[in-house]
Amino acid sequence: MKHLIMSLIFCTLLLMSGAIATAQETTQLAATLEVLESGVEVLRVNTANWLPIRLEAIVGVGDMIRTDATGRARITFFENGTDTELEPNTTYKINQFEATADSFTLQGEVIAGQTLQRLGRLLDANSSYTIITPGMTLVARGTVFRIRVEDDARSAMLVDEGAVDADNPDANANANVGAGLGIRADPDAPLSDVVRASTFEQLDAALDGCTASLTTADDVSINVRFAPNRDADLLGSLSADTITVLYGITQTTKWYRVMFDDGFGWILSSTAQIAPCAGLRTFPDDYTGEDVPVDTPPAETTPDAP
């Protein structure tokens, strides 16, 4: 009898341990692909042929989805608002999508094009939502954010809600990007500054500058200073006709950020004519200058110039 009781206890413990293991097992999940505009195809994992999707399909780990010049699609991972929208000329891959009883792991990859990510499911400490691009890895928690990957693999991101951590392990760089801000990166290159932008056009203008022309009386050179004020260290001077791009402006004092040597400097101008542009990057009037050290400034050769 004692032997029988011990056997029953052992079997019960074995069944309980199996139940616990089952509850903790990782389950591969599937997502729903919805065609928003015709021109959507799927490449199933371990296959070679792209399949046209007319209305809807089930997609899973390893599948790639692409849209043509007119196609748009939505991948719904969870019905609570966790989805990704693909704009025209976009290629997206599901790298990982799995869950346990109380957490999930989702990793997608934007290979080319533009996407909009919505994360409606609140993440716990054991869950993760990661997007890979050629230029950076993006880790989100409860956010809405957009991604663009250009033909040369340059990657950009805009955050509409919440915050996203941007990381580039190859360049040993990372940044936290909040709502209303954007960031950009080339493959194997440092992350850009985090700048205010609500469109990719604004992001590009803030980082690439805007075309401009300047004039001065009697062709006097313009002093370039370390920060946007007359008391800042003098870095040198530039002829007005050599300044063709401006990279920023102060809020009210009309100081402009320009390229100088291998970095940036500031000039004061009331004659700057800026070509149509999505918007110069704005700096506070009391901006203290670039974070990089500068050499001892040269002697001031144009004392009458600002």
* CA 155 – CA 185 distance, rounded (Å): 5
Shortest CA distance to 197 belongs to which of 142, 266, 145?
Answer: 145
8 A C-beta contact, residue 107 and residue 137: no
Name the residue ranges covered by the structural domains of the chain. 27-208, 210-283
Residue 285 identity: D
193-244 per-position pLDDT tens digit: 999 999 999 999 999 999 999 888 877 899 999 999 999 999 999 998 899 9
* CA 191 – CA 204 distance, rounded (Å): 14
Cα 3-8-14 angle, rounded to 5 deg: 125
Query: Can you give the pLDDT at residue 43?
Result: 96
CATH superfamily, region 210-283:
SH3 Domains (2.30.30.40)
For 99, residues 6+ apart whose C-beta sits below 8 A from its C-beta are 26, 27, 29, 105
Query: Can you give the pLDDT at residue 53?
Result: 97
Residue 218 identity: D
36-71 per-position pLDDT tens digit: 999 999 999 999 999 999 999 999 999 999 999 999
Question: Helix, strand, coil: what percent of the chain each, to 5?
Answer: 15, 45, 40
**Is the pLDDT confidence value at 21 over 90?**
no
Chain centroid offset of residue 109 CA: 13
**Average pLDDT of the residues in 293-299:** 38
- Domain 27-208 annotated CATH 3.40.50.10790: no
304's enclosing H/E stretch is none
Can you tell me which residue has the tokens 């790639």? 64
- Helices and strands in the chain, H and E counts: 2, 27
Show the DSSP H helices in the chain as ranges.
2-24, 200-208
